[in-house]
C-alpha cells in the first residue's frame, strides 16, 4: 500500500512539471462597450486544448464574447454580463493533465446618461414661490462621475448655488420666479462625458406676473370674411391687454380702424378682412410686476393658384408606375387627392393613392383613361387632368411582303400594325432610314410607304419598324422592279449622215425580258442591200443619197409587246473650209479684205461674226455711204472704248471696296469650279478677269481653245456600243449615274468597270457645268483623283466615263464598317487607316487646288475607295435620290449645306478655303464612321446656326486630339485662319504611324 502511494505521488510530480502557464489572465481595467482580451498560454502547446470558466461555469462562445485561439476576446465589454471572475483551463489531451489559471476580473468603467427630475417637492404642482426646490441628476457611472449643472446653457457654480456632487443634486433654498429656466446636467469620469437626456423646466408662478390664458391662433380667411383673434391674460391685480398690427407703434386699442372691433374679453374682431388687414398681430399683456408678455398670430387671405390644365403619359403594361401630382401654391396648404370618373382613388389596392402620388401596381390595359388630380383649400378647388395610355405591343395587321412594282408608276409597301397608342412606323431602304424630307417617297400615317415613281434602282431590300413603348415589330420586303419596255436612250429623232461614209445608227432597249431590236423603213419598204442590222444597230457600209428618209426602230419582247421610235435620216456633205481667214495688217483708212470659202451639200451659207455678233454685210454703195459707214464705225468704237474704260474703273473700285471689307483673309486665287459658278480670285470674280483678258487677246485665245478642245475630244472619244450597263447607282443634277463595263478602254484590261455620268438635262448652265467637269478631270493627273477615261458625244445623252473603285463610295464603306448586322462581314477601321484615308483625300485636293480648281461638293459620298484602302477624289453627286437627305434646296439650288461654310451659303463665295472647310467635315465623317453631320439639327436649324456662327461638330469617339484640332482649324470663321491643303498634307504626314496617333 505504501508502495502504491509512492508511485501515485511520483505520477503527480511528473504531471506537475510536464507543462505550465507562460501567460495567465490578469485583472484589468475595461471600458463598457469597448473591446478587451484575457490572454492564456502554456509552455508546451502541443496537444493542449483550452477552455474558459466564468464564475466557475464553462463559458459558451457568442458574437460578443468568444475564445480566439487560447485567448478570450470581448468585442464589447458589458458591465453586467462580464462582472465576476474568469479562469483559463488548459488540458493535455494525451495524458489528461489539467492546469487552472489564476482568477482574473474586469474593473469595468462606465457612464450612463439619465434625466433631470424634481426631487423636492414631489410634484411640479406643489412648487411654490419662496419654498425650497431640489433637482436631481440621474447620470450614473463607475467610477462615480463628477457633475455640473447648467441653466439656459450657462454653467452654475457652487458659490451661487447649493450643489451636492455626491448626491448629484441642485437645491434652491427659496425659489423665486427669477430662478425660472431650463436646467440640465453633465457628468464625466474615466469612461467619458455625457449630458442629461431629458431636462427640467422650472416655472415658478408669480401671480403678479401676466400669464396667458387664451393664446391667439393664426388664421387664413376668405376676402371680406369675418376673423376673430382671441387673447386673454391673468394676473393679480388684473393685467392690461394691448393689440398691435405689424410694426405699428400705436396700439389698436388706442385707435380702432374701420371694421375692427375690440371686445370686452380681449378678442379682436375684424368684420370684413381686406388685404390691408393681413399680416402679424401682437397681443401684449402687462402686469404689475415682471416683463410684459407678447403673443403673435398671423391673419392671411386664402388663395390658390391654377394648375397645369392637362398632361399625358404612356406606360408599358405590367410595370410599376408612380405619378406625382404637384399641388398649386396656396394658403392654407391645399389638400390633394386623385379621382377617376368623379370618385376618389382609394389608399390601397392595385391602383391607389400614396400621399400625393398615384400608384399603379402594376399597370393594366384597363388603366388607360383620364385621372384627375384635385387640390382644394378654403380659396377654392383646382384640377389637373392626366390622360394615361397603357402601351400594348404592336400586332400585325398587314405585314410587309415581297412586291413586284412596275417601273414608272407609283409603288406601295404596307406596314400596318395595331397597338395602343398608334404605333410609330419607320421605313429603311438597305438599312438607311427613309426620311419625310426625301421627295421620292411618301410616308402615310397608317404605315404605308409610297415610292412616287418607281425606278430600276428601287429594286432593293426595304424594312419597316413599328413600335410603341410596349414593344416593337419589324418586317422586310424585297422589291423587284418590273422594268418597262423602253429605249436606252431614246434615238435622236433627226440625224444627219455624211455622204460616202460608214455610219452606224444606235438603238438599244431594255425591258422585263431582253427585247429584240430591229429596224424597218417607215413606209414598210425593204432596207437597201448595203444597210445591215447588227444587234439593233443600223449599219450603213457606205452612205448614199437614197439612204435619206424615215426609219423605224422597233423593240419587242413576248411579255410587253413592242415600242417604236421614228428616226428621220438626212444625207449631207459636211461643211469644210476651203479658204480660212488669215491675220491681216492694214493701214488706218485703207480697205481690208478677209477671205472665207466653204464647201458642203447643201451649199453652206457663210456669215461673219465680230465680238460674238453677226455682221450685217451690205453691197457697196456710193462713196458718201462709205464715209458715213466709217464715221459710224469710228463713233461706235470710241463709244465702246469709253464704256469699257468705265466698266474697268467701276470694277476696280468694287474690287478695292470688297478687299477692304474682307480685310486680310488672304483668299487664294482660283480659276475654275468643278460644279460651275463664278469663283472668287483676290476679291473679284473670275468672269471679270476673263473679260479683261478677252478685250486684249480675243482672237488668238478663241482659236487656240477651239483647236485644243477638238484634239482632246478626239483623243477621249469612246464608242458608246462598247459600254454595257451593270446597274444604275442613282441620279444627280446632270442625270443618271451608271455603273458600266467598258470594253478596251484600258490597254491592260479587256473589260473595265467604270463610272458613267450621263447628261440628260436641257438646262444650259448644267450643260456648261458638265463640260467644265469633264475638262477638269481631263486636265488632272494624280493617284488620288479619278481619271477621265472617255467621252461619248456623238449622240444624246452625252456620257462622261470616269474611273471606279471596287468598294464604291467612301460613305457606304464607313457605314458598313460600324454595322452591327451579322449578315454584313464588316471589319473595324483602325485609327491608322482613318488617318491614311484623310491624307489621301488631302493630297488629291492639294493637286486639284494647285491647278486652280474648286470642288464645291467635297464629302465622303464623293470619294471612292478600293479593297487596298486607296482613295480617290471623285464627283458622283447623287443629290436626287441616294444622298438626297444630304442636300438642301436654297435659293433655287441644291447645296450640300452641312459641308459648306457661311460665305459659300450666304454669299455664293466658293474658293479653296471653302473646300478646306468641307475637308474638315469629311475628316469628321471618317472618324464618326459616316454619321450625318449635325444629325440632331434639322436643315433649317443648321442654316440658322451657320448664320449665327454657332455651328460646331463634337469630337468623334476615339478621335485623337491632334486630328480634332486640325478639323477645328478647317472650320475657322476667318478664311485666313484656315490651313491650305499643302499644310494639311504636311500636318497629317507628321502624325506617328501607330494606330494610337
Known catalytic residue: 940?
Answer: no
Strands in 227-229's sheet, in edge-to-edge order, are 227-229, 268-270, 260-262
Confirm or deny that 805 is annotated as ligand binding: yes
Q: From the CB of residue 540, how many other CB atoms can be counted at a distance below 10 Å?
A: 21
Structural contact between residues 119 and 138, judged by C-beta atoms closer than 8 angstroms: no
d(C-alpha 426, C-alpha 468), whole Å: 12
What does the alpha-carbon distance between residue 245 and residue 366 come to, in Å, rounded to a whole number?
A: 57
Residue 863, classed as helix, strand or coil, is strand
Binding residue per annotation — 732?
A: yes
Residue 808 is assigned to a ligand binding site: yes
Do 386 and 370 meet the contact criterion of CB atoms below 8 Å apart? yes
Per the annotation, does 582 bind a ligand?
A: no
Q: Which three cell numbers stand for residue 85?
A: 471572475
Residue 266 marked ligand-binding: no
Distances (CA, A) of 446 to 419, 450, 477: 12, 12, 17
809 is in an annotated binding site: yes
Cα–Cα nearest to 422, from 400, 450, 447, 385 = 447
Integer Cα distance of 652 and 654 in angstroms: 5
Question: Which DSSP letter does residue 82 get?
Answer: T
Three-class secondary structure assignment of 780-812: CCCCCECCEEEEECCCCCEEEEEECCCCCEHHH
Strands 310-316 and 380-391 come out as: parallel
Catalytic residue among 857, 881, 909, 915: 857
For residue 912, give the nearest of 662, 664, 669 by alpha carbon.
669
Residue 232's CB: how many other CB atoms inside 10 A?
18
Angle at 756 between CA 752 and CA 760, to 5 degrees: 160
| 707 assigned to a ligand binding site | no
806 marked among binding-site residues: yes
The backbone torsions φ and ψ at residue 937, rounded to the nearest 5 degrees and listed phi first, read: -105, 140
Q: Rounded to whole angstroms, how far apart are CA atoms 198 and 138?
A: 10
To 5 degrees, how large is the angle CA 927–CA 929–CA 934? 85
Instruction: Tell me whether residue 861 is annotated as binding.
Output: yes
3 state SS of 340: strand
d(CA 681, CA 909): 10
HSE, side-chain direction, 13 A CA sphere, residue 510: 14
Segments in 682-735 forming alpha helices (H): 686-696, 698-716
Question: Does residue 443 have a cis peptide bond before it, meaning omega lies within 30 degrees of 0?
Answer: no
Question: Three cell numbers at 427?
Answer: 421605313
Backbone angles phi, psi at 963, to 5 degrees: -65, -45
Report how far residue 922's alpha carbon sits from residue 933's, in angstroms, rounded to the nearest whole number: 9
Known binding residue 624? Answer is no
739 CB-near residues (< 8 Å, 6+ apart): 725, 726, 727, 728, 729, 753, 754, 755, 756, 804
166 is in an annotated binding site: no
- CA-wise closest residue to 468 among 315, 312, 360, 311: 315
Helices 912-927 and 961-970: angle between axes, nearest 10 degrees: 150
Q: Which of 906, 942, 940 is nearest to 921 (CA)?
A: 942
Query: 125 labelled as ligand-binding?
Result: no
The one-character DSSP state at 115 is B
Beta-carbon contacts of residue 378 (< 8 Å; ≥ 6 apart): 220, 221, 222, 302, 332
- Considering just the CA atoms, what is the radius of gyration of the chain in Å? 53
C-alpha cell at 889: 434646296
Give me the active site residues, please: 857
Binding-site positions for Mg(2+): 862
Point out the annotated binding site. 730-737, 757, 803-809, 861-862
Q: Which residues are annotated as a binding site for ATP?
A: 730-737, 757, 803-809, 861
Amino acid at each position: 500500500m505504501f508502495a502504491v502511494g509512492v508511485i501515485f505521488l511520483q505520477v503527480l510530480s511528473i504531471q506537475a512539471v510536464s507543462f505550465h502557464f507562460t501567460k495567465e489572465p490578469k485583472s484589468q481595467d475595461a471600458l463598457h462597450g469597448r473591446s478587451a482580451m484575457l490572454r492564456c498560454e502554456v509552455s508546451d502547446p502541443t496537444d493542449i486544448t483550452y477552455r474558459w470558466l466564468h464564475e466557475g461555469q464553462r463559458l459558451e462562445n457568442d458574437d460578443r464574447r468568444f475564445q480566439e485561439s487560447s485567448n478570450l476576446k470581448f468585442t464589447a465589454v458589458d458591465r453586467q454580463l462580464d462582472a465576476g471572475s474568469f479562469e483559463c483551463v488548459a488540458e493535455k489531451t494525451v495524458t489528461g493533465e489539467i492546469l487552472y489559471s489564476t482568477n482574473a476580473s474586469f474593473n469595468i468603467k462606465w457612464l450612463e446618461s439619465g434625466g433631470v427630475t424634481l426631487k423636492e417637492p414631489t410634484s411640479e404642482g406643489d412648487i411654490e414661490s419662496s419654498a425650497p426646490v431640489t433637482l436631481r441628476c440621474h447620470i450614473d457611472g463607475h467610477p462615480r462621475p463628477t457633475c455640473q449643472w447648467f441653466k439656459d446653457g450657462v454653467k452654475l457654480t457652487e458659490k451661487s448655488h447649493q450643489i451636492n456632487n455626491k448626491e448629484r443634486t441642485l437645491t434652491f433654498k427659496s425659489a423665486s420666479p427669477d430662478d425660472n429656466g431650463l436646467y440640465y446636467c453633465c457628468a464625466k469620469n474615466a469612461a467619458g462625458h455625457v449630458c442629461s437626456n431629458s431636462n427640467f423646466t422650472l416655472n415658478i408662478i408669480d401671480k403678479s406676473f401676466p400669464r396667458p390664458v387664451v393664446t391667439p391662433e393664426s388664421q387664413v380667411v376668405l376676402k371680406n370674411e369675418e376673423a376673430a383673434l382671441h387673447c386673454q391674460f391673468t394676473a393679480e391685480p388684473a393685467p392690461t391687454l394691448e393689440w398691435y398690427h405689424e410694426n405699428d407703434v400705436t396700439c389698436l386699442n388706442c385707435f380702432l380702424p374701420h371694421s375692427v372691433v375690440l371686445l370686452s374679453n380681449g378678442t379682436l374682431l375684424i368684420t370684413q378682412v381686406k388685404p390691408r388687414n393681413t399680416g402679424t398681430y401682437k397681443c401684449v399683456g402687462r402686469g404689475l410686476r415682471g416683463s410684459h408678455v407678447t403673443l403673435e398670430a398671423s391673419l392671411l387671405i386664402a388663395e390658390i393658384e391654377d394648375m397645369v390644365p392637362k398632361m399625358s403619359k404612356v406606360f408599358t403594361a405590367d410595370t410599376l408606375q408612380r405619378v406625382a401630382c404637384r399641388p398649386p401654391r396656396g394658403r392654407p396648404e391645399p389638400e390633394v387627392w386623385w379621382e377617376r370618373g368623379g370618385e376618389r382613388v382609394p389608399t390601397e389596392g392595385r391602383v391607389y393613392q400614396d400621399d400625393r402620388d398615384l400608384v399603379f401596381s402594376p399597370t393594366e390595359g384597363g388603366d388607360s383613361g383620364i385621372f384627375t388630380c384635385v387640390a382644394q383649400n378654403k380659396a377654392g378647388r383646382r384640377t389637373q387632368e392626366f390622360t394615361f395610355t397603357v402601351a400594348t405591343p404592336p400586332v400585325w395587321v398587314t405585314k410587309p411582303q415581297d412586291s413586284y412594282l412596275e417601273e414608272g408608276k407609283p409603288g406601295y409597301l404596307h406596314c400596318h400594325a395595331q397597338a395602343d397608342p398608334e404605333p410609330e412606323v419607320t421605313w429603311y431602304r438597305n438599312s438607311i432610314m427613309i426620311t419625310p424630307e426625301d421627295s421620292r417617297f411618301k410616308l402615310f400615317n397608317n404605315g404605308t410607304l409610297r415610292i412616287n415613281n418607281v425606278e430600276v434602282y428601287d429594286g432593293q431590300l426595304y424594312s419597316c419598324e413599328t413600335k410603341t413603348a410596349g414593344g416593337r415589330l419589324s418586317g422586310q420586303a424585297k422589291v423587284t422592279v418590273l422594268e418597262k419596255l423602253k429605249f436606252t436612250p431614246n434615238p435622236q429623232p433627226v440625224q444627219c449622215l455624211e455622204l460616202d461614209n460608214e455610219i452606224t445608227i444606235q438603238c438599244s432597249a431594255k425591258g422585263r425580258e431582253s427585247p429584240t431590236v430591229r429596224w424597218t423603213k417607215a413606209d414598210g419598204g425593204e432596207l437597201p442591200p448595203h444597210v445591215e442590222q447588227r444587234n439593233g444597230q443600223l449599219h450603213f457600209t457606205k452612205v448614199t443619197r437614197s439612204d435619206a428618209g424615215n426609219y423605224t426602230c422597233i423593240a419587242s419582247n413576248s411579255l410587253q409587246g413592242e415600242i417604236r421610235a421614228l428616226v428621220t435620216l438626212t444625207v449631207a456633205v459636211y461643211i469644210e473650209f476651203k479658204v480660212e481667214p488669215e491675220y491681216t495688217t492694214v493701214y488706218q483708212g485703207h480697205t481690208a479684205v478677209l477671205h472665207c470659202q466653204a464647201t458642203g451639200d447643201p451649199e453652206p451659207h457663210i456669215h461673219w461674226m465680230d465680238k460674238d455678233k453677226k455682221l450685217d454685210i451690205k453691197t457697196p454703195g456710193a462713196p458718201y455711204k462709205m464715209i458715213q459707214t466709217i464715221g459710224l464705225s469710228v463713233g461706235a468704237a470710241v463709244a465702246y472704248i469709253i464704256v469699257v474704260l468705265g466698266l474697268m474703273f467701276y470694277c476696280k473700285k468694287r474690287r478695292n471696296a470688297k478687299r477692304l471689307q474682307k480685310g486680310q483673309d488672304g483668299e487664294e486665287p482660283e480659276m475654275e469650279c468643278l460644279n460651275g459658278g463664278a469663283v472668287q480670285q483676290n476679291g473679284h470674280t473670275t468672269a471679270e478677269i476673263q473679260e479683261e483678258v478677252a478685250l486684249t487677246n480675243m482672237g488668238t485665245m478663241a482659236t487656240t481653245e477651239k483647236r485644243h478642245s477638238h484634239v482632246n475630244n478626239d483623243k477621249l472619244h469612246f464608242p458608246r456600243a462598247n459600254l454595257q450597263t451593270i446597274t444604275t447607282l442613282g441620279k444627280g443634277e446632270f442625270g443618271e449615274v451608271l455603273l458600266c463595263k467598258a470594253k478596251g478602254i484600258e490597254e491592260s484590261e479587256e473589260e473595265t468597270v467604270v463610272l458613267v455620268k450621263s447628261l440628260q438635262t436641257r438646262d444650259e448652265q448644267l450643260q456648261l457645268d458638265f463640260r467644265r467637269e469633264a475638262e477638269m478631270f481631263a486636265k488632272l493627273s494624280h493617284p488620288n483623283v479619278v481619271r477621265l477615261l472617255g467621252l461619248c458625244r456623238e449622240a444624246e445623252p452625252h456620257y462622261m466615263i470616269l474611273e471606279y473603285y471596287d468598294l464604291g463610295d467612301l460613305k457606304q464603306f464607313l457605314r458598313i464598317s460600324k454595322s452591327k448586322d451579322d449578315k454584313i462581314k464588316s471589319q473595324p477601321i483602325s485609327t491608322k487607316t482613318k488617318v491614311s484615308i484623310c491624307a489621301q483625300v488631302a493630297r488629291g485636293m492639294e493637286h486639284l487646288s494647285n491647278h486652280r480648281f474648286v470642288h464645291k461638293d467635297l464629302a465622303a459620298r464623293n470619294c471612292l475607295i478600293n479593297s487596298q484602302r486607296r482613295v480617290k477624289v471623285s464627283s458622283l453627286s447623287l443629290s436626287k435620290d441616294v444622298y438626297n437627305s444630304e442636300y438642301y434646296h436654297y435659293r433655287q439650288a441644291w447645296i450640300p449645306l452641312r459641308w459648306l461654310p457661311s460665305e459659300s451659303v450666304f454669299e455664293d463665295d466658293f474658293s479653296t478655303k471653302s473646300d478646306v472647310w468641307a475637308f474638315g467635315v469629311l475628316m469628321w465623317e471618317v472618324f464618326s464612321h459616316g454619321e450625318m453631320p449635325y444629325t440632331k439639327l434639322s436643315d433649317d436649324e443648321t442654316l440658322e446656326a451657320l448664320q449665327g456662327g454657332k455651328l460646331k461638330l463634337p469630337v468623334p469617339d476615339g478621335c485623337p486630339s491632334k486630328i480634332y484640332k486640325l478639323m477645328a482649324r478647317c472650320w475657322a470663321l476667318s478664311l485666313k485662319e484656315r490651313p491650305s491643303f499643302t499644310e494639311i498634307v504636311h500636318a497629317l504626314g507628321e502624325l506617328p504611324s501607330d494606330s494610337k496617333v
